[in-house]
């Protein structure tokens, strides 16, 4: 895409966001620095922006937490960069609003011109009110005696609100010594004083705002994060979600418009159209599920194919065949009697059905041994020859990584196939790591970079499963805002691939509903319904198919 068309796409997308707040633009910290720079280059003053940020934060805190008759007690933890600068000014403005404020400066002297100005401005106000914690303490928080001194400040311990202004988007390494102590102290104080509210300025200190990573669990656990300028993408990825608390946007400047964000946060699936009356099962596609194998000496995986099949039916697919190991045919028919069955190892029958189906979903419980690899390669080649839309999941992705090394021309064919047909890949970080020849840890370090590399290497649409599942389609990344920790349980992936196959096979659905992100959103929304009913501990994949059907129905009524 050219730079201009990127901007046009952004403007179009942003207009659609204004009409539908379900999509939130997410920016990398580098982009946010760029937005700020453009603002300053246009003649706007950086210190004025800091004052504007601090005033909005102070006003928000005062409006939210002050109670008539009680003096609001605030502890402001400031670091050395501009996030700390925000903190100093917040302390100043809250003092002027009538709060009782203590500031704890952590680490060495402030490092930016604006932060220094902010500190000077605030120190004057605070000293007049005798509210700065004494200088010997400031800057020496690692020192045990000083730390104990903080704990003795009973006024301070009983604060109503802590403002966390240690680090914002400039964090570039693990917090250590005084910073780590401060983070630990803030989190511990919250446990001792349940009334205490922790408000993080821009980013919970310790969270990497580009990736959502937290080093060694050293980050502030906020109740509220006040996001300045633009929403940082890392706040919705990985560990970050356990640290941000509720997010509140304070946009400050209008320059976000026109900039293409790094990703979009999506909360809901798209509405679905009602079905026409004059239809028959042939109108709603034929899915072939290839999986559910029994490999000698390994545990059977028939359940994977059964979960996929029952979920595909819950999406309304017209016909469905499961090619699974013969050992599971009886249980398949018991669980999903409307499915047809084939022997996964009867290659010629499976191949002739691949040629007839509308979507092949392959890999769930497929097995990883040599004979499974041979079958996978054969079925994949057939699907490519027959131009069949494809979903590759689980053991299929395992074999695909081997094929990328042993038969790279198949990857070239897949890349070409994806230019004209839907090809959807659904790895978790372990599978993604194999596909890129790096470790799962490296994938997790930067999930946005990983999904981009996967699409660059293999083409097609990608889901990278995990906390804040990512979906990449035609260069655009969506972050799934729905879903919950209870969904980290066996079989959830099989449910998702069945759901995706069911949508993809139904050519009667509008194109916008036959997308991987639509499947991911419906899956996550169904998980959330179940979590409300059963809680995170008892949530099971086998409960999902009927709830998927309910969500589909609600989406139809929402149209
Ligand atoms: N006028 C402005 O420039 C504005 C700045 N804003 C604030 O400024 C923040 C960004 O400021 P900065 O770029 O100064 O970044 P930070 O304030 O996040 O901190 C960066 C400083 O901390 C150091 N540092 C990073 N990781 C560290 C670690 N683990 N241990 C010790 N030191 C570490 C860096 O070397 C640098 O000196 C935003 O998050 C936002 O809060 C906003 O208020 C908007 C206006
Ligand atoms: K912060």
Buried b (16+ CB within 10 A) or exposed e, 195-219: ebbbbbbbbbbbbbbbbbbbbeebb
Choosing from 207, 227, 259, the residue where a domain stops is 259
Residue 9 inside a domain? The answer is no
Both 447 and 314 in one domain: the answer is yes
Both 239 and 175 in one domain: the answer is yes
Which residues, in sequence order, are bridge partners of residue 360? 288, 390
513, 503 Cβ separation under 8 angstroms: yes
Both 251 and 285 in one domain: the answer is no
Burial of 335: CB neighbours in 10 Å, binned 0-12, 13-18, 19+: middle
Q: Give the residue from 455, 494, 451 showing the smallest Cα distance to 469.
A: 451
96 lines ligand 1 (CB under 6 A): no
- Please report, for residues 55, 285, 446, the alpha-carbon distance to residue 261 in angstroms, rounded to integers and kept in the order given: 26, 36, 17
Ordered DSSP codes for 375-437? HHHHHHHHHHHTT--EEE-HHHHHHHHHHHHH-HHHHHHHHHHHHHS-EEE---HHHHHHHHT
Both 319 and 248 in one domain: the answer is no
pLDDT score for 79: 93
pLDDT score for 52: 97
Choosing from 259, 293, 312, the residue where a domain stops is 259
Both 174 and 304 in one domain: the answer is no
Domain total for the chain? Answer: 2
Q: Report the CATH number that the domain containing residue 178 is assigned in CATH.
A: 3.40.50.10260
Residue 35 inside a domain? The answer is yes
Rg, C-alpha atoms of the chain:
27
Over the chain, what is the mean pLDDT? 89
- Please report, for residues 59, 202, 481, the alpha-carbon distance to residue 53 in angstroms, rounded to integers and kept in the order given: 10, 10, 26
Percent of the chain topping pLDDT 90: 75
Measured distance CA(365)–CA(332) in Å, rounded? 14
Percent of the chain topping pLDDT 70: 89
74 lines ligand 1 (CB under 6 A): no
CA triplet 476, 506, 347: central angle to 5 degrees?
100
pLDDT score for 297: 77
pLDDT score for 408: 94
For 252-301, the pLDDT digits (tens) are 997 655 678 999 999 999 999 888 776 766 678 999 999 999 988 778 89
Q: Give the residue from 352, 336, 347, 349 showing the smallest Cα distance to 494.
A: 336
230 lines ligand 1 (CB under 6 A): no
For 96-123, the pLDDT digits (tens) are 999 988 888 888 788 899 999 999 999 9
Residue 273 inside a domain? The answer is no
Residue 54 CB: number of other CB atoms within 10 A?
Answer: 26
pLDDT score for 3: 38
Residue 276 inside a domain? The answer is no
112 lines ligand 1 (CB under 6 A): yes
Both 177 and 147 in one domain: the answer is yes
For 325-359, the pLDDT digits (tens) are 999 999 999 999 999 999 999 999 999 999 999 99
Both 87 and 125 in one domain: the answer is yes
Residue 19 inside a domain? The answer is no
Backbone region of residue 106 per phi and psi (left: phi > 0; alpha: psi in -120 to 50; beta: other values): beta
Which residues are close to ligand 2, an ion, with C-beta < 5 A?
A: 164, 200-201, 205
Both 432 and 534 in one domain: the answer is yes
Measured distance CA(509)–CA(21) in Å, rounded? 24
Mutate to test the pocket of ligand 1, among 41, 168, 175, 251 (most ligand atoms within 8 A of CB): 168
Both 290 and 255 in one domain: the answer is no
Range of the domain at 500: 281-557
Detail the residues annotated as belonging to a binding site for AMP.
465-469, 493
- 508 pLDDT band, cuts 50/70/90, is confident
Residue 4 inside a domain? The answer is no
Measured distance CA(379)–CA(362) in Å, rounded? 9
Which residues, in sequence order, are bridge partners of residue 78? 105, 165
Both 289 and 255 in one domain: the answer is no
Q: Give the residue from 520, 534, 537 showing the smallest Cα distance to 468.
A: 520
Sheet of 197-201, strands arranged across = 100-105, 73-78, 161-165, 197-201, 224-228, 246-250
Tokens of 239: 């560990």
272, 557 Cβ separation under 8 angstroms: no
CA dihedral 118, 119, 124, 130 (to 10 degrees): 130
pLDDT score for 4: 41
Residue 157 CB: number of other CB atoms within 10 A?
Answer: 15
Residue 249 inside a domain? The answer is yes
Measured distance CA(485)–CA(489) in Å, rounded? 9
Task: Point out the least confidently predicted range of 129-138, 392-401, 504-513.
Answer: 129-138
Both 170 and 319 in one domain: the answer is no
264, 14 Cβ separation under 8 angstroms: no
For 73-96, the pLDDT digits (tens) are 999 999 999 999 999 999 999 999
Asked if the model's pLDDT at residue 128 lies above 70, the reply is yes
Q: Report the CATH number that the domain containing residue 300 is assigned in CATH.
A: 3.40.1190.20
**How does DSSP classify residue 132?**
B
Detail the residues annotated as belonging to a binding site.
82-86, 164, 168-174, 179, 202, 205, 304, 365, 428, 465-469, 493-494
Residue 326 inside a domain? The answer is yes
Q: Which residue has the higher pLDDT, 20 or 255?
A: 255
Asked if the model's pLDDT at residue 193 lies above 60, the reply is yes
**How does DSSP classify residue 134?**
P
Backbone region of residue 475 per phi and psi (left: phi > 0; alpha: psi in -120 to 50; beta: other values): left
Measured distance CA(338)–CA(321) in Å, rounded? 9
**How does DSSP classify residue 259?**
S
Mutate to test the pocket of ligand 1, among 52, 87, 167 (most ligand atoms within 8 A of CB): 167
Both 226 and 308 in one domain: the answer is no
């Amino acid at each position: 895409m050219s730079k201009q068309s990127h901007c046009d796409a952004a403007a179009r997308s942003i207009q659609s966001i204004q009409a539908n707040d379900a999509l939130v633009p997410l920016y990398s910290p580098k982009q946010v620095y760029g937005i700020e720079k453009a603002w300053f280059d246009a003649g706007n003053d950086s210190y004025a922006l800091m004052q504007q940020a601090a005033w909005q934060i102070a006003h928000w805190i005062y409006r939210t937490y002050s109670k008539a008759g009680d003096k609001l007690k605030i502890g402001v933890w400031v670091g050395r960069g501009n996030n700390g600068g925000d903190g100093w000014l917040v302390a100043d403005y809250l003092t002027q609003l009538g709060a009782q404020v203590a500031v704890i400066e952590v680490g060495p002297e402030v490092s930016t011109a604006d932060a220094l100005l902010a500190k000077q401005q605030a120190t004057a106000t605070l000293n007049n009110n005798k509210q700065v914690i004494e200088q010997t303490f400031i800057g020496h928080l690692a020192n045990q005696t000083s730390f104990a001194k903080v704990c003795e400040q009973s006024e301070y311990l009983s604060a109503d609100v802590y403002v966390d202004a240690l680090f914002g988007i400039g964090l570039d390494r693990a917090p250590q010594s005084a910073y780590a102590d401060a983070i630990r102290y803030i989190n511990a104080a919250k446990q001792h004083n349940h009334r205490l509210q922790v408000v993080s300025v821009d980013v919970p200190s310790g969270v990497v705002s580009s990736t959502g990573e937290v080093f060694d669990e050293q980050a502030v656990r906020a109740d509220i994060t006040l996001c300045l300028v633009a929403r940082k993408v890392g706040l919705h990825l990985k560990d970050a979600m356990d640290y941000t608390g509720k997010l509140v946007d304070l946009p400050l400047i209008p320059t976000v418009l026109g900039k293409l964000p790094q990703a979009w946060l999506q909360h809901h699936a798209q509405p679905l159209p009602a079905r026409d009356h004059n239809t028959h099962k042939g109108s709603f596609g034929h899915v072939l599920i290839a999986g559910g194998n029994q490999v000698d000496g390994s545990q059977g995986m028939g359940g994977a194919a059964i979960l996929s099949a029952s979920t595909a039916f819950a999406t309304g697919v017209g016909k469905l065949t499961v090619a699974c190991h013969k050992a599971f045919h009886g249980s398949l028919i018991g669980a999903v009697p409307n499915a047809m069955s084939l022997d996964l190892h009867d290659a010629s029958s499976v191949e002739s059905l691949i040629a007839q189906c509308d979507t092949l979903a392959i890999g769930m419980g497929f097995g990883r041994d040599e004979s499974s690899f041979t079958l996978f390669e054969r079925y994949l080649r057939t699907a490519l020859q027959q131009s069949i839309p494809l979903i590759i999941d689980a053991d299929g992705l395992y074999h695909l990584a081997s094929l990328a090394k042993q038969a790279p021309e198949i990857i070239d064919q897949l890349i070409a196939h994806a230019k004209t047909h839907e090809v959807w890949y659904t790895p978790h970080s372990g599978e993604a790591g194999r596909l890129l020849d790096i470790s799962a840890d490296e994938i997790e370090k930067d999930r946005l970079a990983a999904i981009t590399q996967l699409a660059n290497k293999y083409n097609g649409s990608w889901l990278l499963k995990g906390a804040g599942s990512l979906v990449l389609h035609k260069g655009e990344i969506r972050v799934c805002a729905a879903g919950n920790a209870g969904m980290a349980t066996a079989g959830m992936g099989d449910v998702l691939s069945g759901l995706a196959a069911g949508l993809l096979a139904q050519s009667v659905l509008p194109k916008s509903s036959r997308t991987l992100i639509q499947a991911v959103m419906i899956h996550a929304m169904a998980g959330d319904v179940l979590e409300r009913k059963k809680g995170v501990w008892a949530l099971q994949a086998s409960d999902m198919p009927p709830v998927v059907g309910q969500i589909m129905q609600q989406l139809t009524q929402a149209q």
